[in-house]
Amino acid sequence: MAWAAGYQTAAIPRRYNTILTTGKHMGTTRTDKKQIVGWVMYDFANSAYTTLIVTFIYATYFVSAIAPDKIHGTALWSRGVTLTALSAAFLSPVLGALADHGNARKTFLFISTVIGAAGSAMLWFVKPGQVYQALIWFILSNLAFEIGMVFYNAFLPDISNEKTIGRISGIGWGVGYLGGLLAMFVAMAGFINPEIPWFGLSRESGANIRATCILVALWYGLFSIPLFVFVKSNPGNPKKNSGKAAIVRAAFADLKDTFQDIRSYREIVKLLIARMIYNDGLVTIFAFGGIYAAGTFGFSFKEIMIFGIVLNVAAGTGAFIMGIFDDKLGGKTTIQISNIILTLAVVLAVCAPGKELFWAAGVLVGFFAGPNQSASRSLLGRFVPREKENQFFGFFAFSGKLTAFFGPLFLGILTQMFNSQRVGVSVVAVFFVIGFFILSTVDEQAGKTAAGK
C-alpha cells in the first residue's frame, strides 16, 4: 500500500514521473502515513461545524431565540441553507478549474478554512433579534465549508492508490463523524447541560449557546493544521500558466472544453447523475429523521438527540468497515449494496408499528449512509483525470447540492396531500431506487480507462 510524497523530476519521463508523484507503480507502494493522518484530521476538524452549527445547536438557537418566531425562523434558516447550496453548486466547478490551473488547491483550502472558522466565531456576537447578521455569517461560513470540501476531497486520489482509495475515504468519513460527535459532547458537557456553564457564561442571555460557535471555530482551526503541515501540494495541471489573467482564462477555457468533451467522461457523468438522485434521499433522511421520529412515534427531544447520536455512530462505523469492502468489491458495488439496504430501511421505517422497528431502521440507515457517501467519493477518485481533479470534485459538489431540495419538497407535498408523515417519508425510497438503476449503467473499468488509470 502506498501513498507517496508529490514531487516532479524533469529528467524522468512523464509516465514514471506520474507514478512517483502519486505513489502508484504496478501495485508496489510507499506509505506516507503523515499525509493520511493529515488528510483525515481535516474531516475531524470541519465536522464540528456541521454538527454544532448546521444540524444540532445553532440552527435550533436561531429558530427559537434569534428569529421573531419559530415559523419565520424555520423559513429564514431554510432559505439560508438553500442559498448556500445553490451558491456552492455553481461556484465549485469554477473554483475547481481555477485551482487546477493555478496549482492553488492548498491555498484555496486554506482560505476556505479561515473564512469558515472566522465566520463561525462571528456568530458569537449575534444577539436575539439580529436575524440578518446571523444569516450573513452563517451563509458565509457555510459556503466556505462547502467550497473547502471540494479541495479537501480532491486530495484523495493523491494520497491513495487503486487498492486503498476506498479504505482511506471510509476512514476519513468515519473520523469525521467521530470529530462531530466529540465536539457535540464537549458542547453539551461544558455549555448546554450544566446549570453553571464553563467560564460562568449566562444561560439567560444565551451566551452559553453562542459559545459553542467559538468552540467550533477553535476546533475547526486547530485540527485542520495537520493537513496543511503534512499533506503535499498537488503538482497541478501540467499546462502551467504564468500570470493571474492567464490562469483565469485557461481555467474557464478548460471548463468549457470539459462540458463540450463530456462524452469522454461518460462514466463520471452517469455517476454524478446517479449521486444527484440517491444523495437527495440521504439529505431528506437527515433533515427529517428527527421530525418523523417526533411526529409519528412520539420521540421526546432527549430521545431525538440520542437518535441523532446513534445514527452518527452507526454511520461512522459503517464508513470504516465498508471502506475495506470498497477496495475489495469496488466503489460501485459498495454504493449499490448501500442503496438496496437504505431502500429496505426506509420501507421498514414507513411500516414500523412502534419505536422498536423504527430504531432498527434508523441503525440500518446510519450504518449504510456513511459507506454510501464515502464510496461515492472514492469511485469518483478512481474516474478523475489527474489534471482535472479539483474541477471534477467541483462537479461532485455541484451534483450533491443542485437538486438537494427535491427530497424535502416532495416529502412535504405528499405529507400534506395524504395528511400522513409515513406517506411523505416513503418518497425517500424512490430516490434510492432511481439512483440504483442509473448507477447500474456505470462501467467502472471504462471510467478508470478514460482517466488513464
pLDDT tens over the chain, length 453 residues: 333 333 232 333 333 233 333 444 333 344 488 999 999 999 999 999 988 898 778 888 888 889 888 777 777 887 888 788 888 888 887 787 777 665 788 999 999 999 999 999 999 999 999 999 999 999 999 999 989 998 898 898 888 887 888 889 889 888 998 999 899 899 988 988 888 899 889 888 889 999 999 999 999 999 999 999 999 876 544 444 455 555 556 555 666 666 665 667 889 889 999 999 999 899 888 777 777 887 889 887 678 778 878 888 888 888 888 888 888 888 899 999 999 999 999 999 999 999 999 999 999 998 999 889 889 988 988 888 877 776 777 777 777 777 777 887 788 788 888 888 899 889 999 999 999 999 999 998 888 888 776
Rounded-to-integer distance, Cα 176 and Cα 43, Å? 5
Work out the end-to-end distance of the chain between its first and last CA atoms, rounded to an integer number of angstroms.
17
Q: CA 204 to CA 169: how far, in whole Å?
A: 43
Query: What single-letter amino acid sits at 86?
Result: L
DSSP state for residue 339 in the 8-state scheme: H
* Length of the chain in terms of residues written: 453
Entry pTM = 0.76
Q: In sequence order, what are the beta bridge partners of 28?
A: 25
**What radius of gyration, in Å, describes the C-alpha atoms of the chain?**
22
Distance from C-alpha of 113 to C-alpha of 43, rounded to nearest angstrom: 12
Residue 113 CA to residue 47 CA, distance in Å, equals 12
Burial (CB < 10 A; 0-12, 13-18, 19+), residue 179, is buried
What domains can you pick out in the chain, each with its CATH number? 31-228+245-257 (1.20.1250.20), 261-453 (1.20.1250.20)
Of 24, 34, 35, which is closest to residue 2 (Cα–Cα)? 24
Burial tier of 148 (Cβ tally within 10 Å: 0-12, 13-18, 19+): buried
